[in-house]
Structure 1
Amino acid sequence: MTSVQPVDRPTDSAPPRRTLVAARLPRAFVWMVVPAFVLFFVFHTVPVLQGVFFSFTDSPGYGAWEAVGLANYVALLSDPRVRDAYLFTAQFAVVATILTNVVALALAVALNGKIRFKTALRGVYFIPNVLAILVVGYVFQYLFTFSLPAIGEALGSARLSSSILADPDLAWIGIVVLAVWQGTAFNIVLYLAGLQTVPPELYEAASLDGASAWRRFRSITFPMIAAFFTINMVLALKGYLQVFDHIMAMTAGGPGTATESVGVLIYKGGFQGGEYGYQLANAVVFMVVIVVLAVFQLRVLQRREVSA
């Protein structure tokens, strides 16, 4: 009678090779993220925490300092220059955000249609986004200061013969023109990406039903790209609230303080006016304001996406 030899079977203590590889992958991913995390923490998180700390001091940015508690934050509430800076920033951000998205959406819809040189025009419209704002700002400053007044004089128009950048009531318009011209480029790209997701069959069905171009846009195009509209609105408002380069290149906050945004005020007061701790408190408040507005705007627009 022959004996049957037992067959060796893998035990639970020896997992398959695929399980071992899968177990090593998370650790590899962690080590890949660590350098980026360290750099972000050292060059972003630590300075932010230092800024919050010094916002409770009377530090001029150098030398000795003393803790003052909430005095800087209380003083912000009664500072007319801070109030005017916030009002100007809000006015500029709202107007620039609306105009940028209106222009970008209109151009994106046009470029998405059947027009000649469509690909070339897309590249042309994106050029402003790759140019340095400071360089472009100086170009626009020259146009508003010299070129347009020269044209106004040639036309015999007294209103156009002087630079609007020298007018406290009109200087902000020149900054808005620059911001919209430069900011539209990026928004066009996002809107074009959104328009590619709209099924062409919907337009064909609407055309058969006799829907006008405006009706097709209102009932098909805009609801289908509502998510892209939300992204553009949130990013544009956040960016324009932090406006700095545009103003420094064109007016440096002038005439007087007519175009002084919150960012420009923080820079001037903190680095040039010896108000380092005070303006850091202003920066902390401004950061909170931007976060609250971004979250509120995102929730409101996302609710509209659902209803659309």
Structure 2
Amino acid sequence: MEQSSRARSPRDRALPAYYWIVWPAVIAFAAFHTLPVIVGIFFSFTNYAGYGGWDLVGFANYVNLFRDDRILQAYGFSFVFAIAATVLTNVISLAIALGLNSKIVGRNFFRGVYFVPYVLAALVIGYVFQFIFSNSLPRILSGIPLIADNILTNPDWAWTAIVALAVWQACAFSIIIYLAGLQTIPAELYEAASLDGASTRRQFRSITFPLISAFFTINVVLSLKGFLQVFDPIVALTNGGPGTATESVSLLIFRGGFTGGEFAYQTANAVIFFIVITVVSLLQFRVLQRREADF
């Protein structure tokens, strides 16, 4: 008896308190995340409109998704938008981070300034950008036909305005990630490279980028995942227009599922969208981490 009582450490006696702390979080997660997901997947196999009765229809919703031109157009727009925004975000963020990491006057102040867009409400900033694209720019740049006619009403170019807003706001977070990576590089490496006569471009190619490749992977994966789910900037700038030219998958799911009487159909769309994003993210990790190993 004495040996068994001595064998129980204070940590073992504290286990009940540990479970009392963890279980409420587990139950809340299951109630507000896991259970709704399971219910949603179930309804994706029905013809439920969001109200009234319903019947099981099997995989009919999933089959119809691949025949719906509007669905395919939304996926096409979402991927084009996400790829363009991801490339621009990471190029601009890395360039700014390199500048902030150098010895410039007031760099801490500028770090705070560049992070401000990330803490602002997306819809509020979206309406500000809408005013800029609809009123300010057409007056200032009246000599450029594309901008003078309000780019937001142009079905071929309205998406570029959404990219501008999304990139402007997303750069704030990416800059912080890149700065964290740049600060892990020992200054001695640059000093040695300078003594060997390496140019700034060569130092970036041989030292900087290989050593922050893990941070690059994180930024690219998070950026593409976030941009594929774009919603707020579109609602604020174009609301999916002109027509359906800038309608993303997330906006289509919201419109059809909550206001269009397509609850089950758009739930099936959401399930497919979740699978697509998961597969794309895993492929990104696999490819980019392999590149890290090459460095």
**What is the TM-score of this pair, normalised by structure 2?**
0.97
Aligned to 1:291: 278
Aligned to 1:141: 130
Q: Deviations over 1:84-105 (max 9, x none)?
A: 0000000000010111011111
Report if aligned partners of 1:72, 1:277 keep a CA contact under 8 Å in 2: yes
Q: Deviations over 1:120-157 (max 9, x none)?
A: 0000000000000000000001101111111122xx33
Deviation, structure 1 residue 117: 0.7
Q: Distance in 2 between matches of 1:223 and 1:121?
A: 26
State the AA in 1 paired with 2:138. Answer: P
Decide which of 76, 90, 115 is 1:126's aligned counterpart.
115
Decide which of 115, 130, 152 is 2:104's aligned counterpart.
115
1:210-289 matches, within 5 Å, as: 210-289=197-276
1:1-308 matches, within 5 Å, as: 12-15=3-6, 19-153=8-142, 156-308=143-295
Report if aligned partners of 1:101, 1:187 keep a CA contact under 8 Å in 2: yes
State the AA in 2 paired with 1:134. Answer: L
Secondary structure at 2:9 match in 1: helix
State the AA in 1 paired with 2:216. Answer: F
Secondary structure at 1:160 match in 2: helix
Q: Distance in 2 between matches of 1:71 and 1:145?
A: 42
Q: Report which stretch shifted further, 28-37 or 214-223.
A: 28-37
Report if aligned partners of 1:152, 1:159 keep a CA contact under 8 Å in 2: no
Report the CA distance shift for 1:272/1:221 in structure 2 as closer, same or farther (over 3 A): same
Aligned to 1:5: none
Q: Deviations over 1:256-303 (max 9, x none)?
A: 000000001111111111111000000000000000111110111111
State the AA in 2 paired with 1:74. Answer: V
Report the CA distance shift for 1:60/1:116 in structure 2 as closer, same or farther (over 3 A): same
Deviation, structure 1 residue 13: 3.6
Q: Distance in 2 between matches of 1:182 and 1:290?
A: 21
State the AA in 2 paired with 1:249. Answer: A
Q: Distance in 2 between matches of 1:101 and 1:206?
A: 25
Q: Report which stretch shifted further, 25-34 or 285-294.
A: 25-34
**What is the TM-score of this pair, normalised by structure 1?**
0.93
Instruction: Give the CA RMSD over aligned residues.
Output: 1.2
Q: Distance in 2 between matches of 1:240 and 1:69?
A: 31
Q: Distance in 2 between matches of 1:218 and 1:121?
A: 25
Q: Which segments of 5 or more consecutive residues in structure 1 lack a partner in the other structure?
A: 1-9
Deviation, structure 1 residue 11: 5.2
Deviation, structure 1 residue 63: 1.1
Larger Rg, first or second structure (1 or 2) = 1
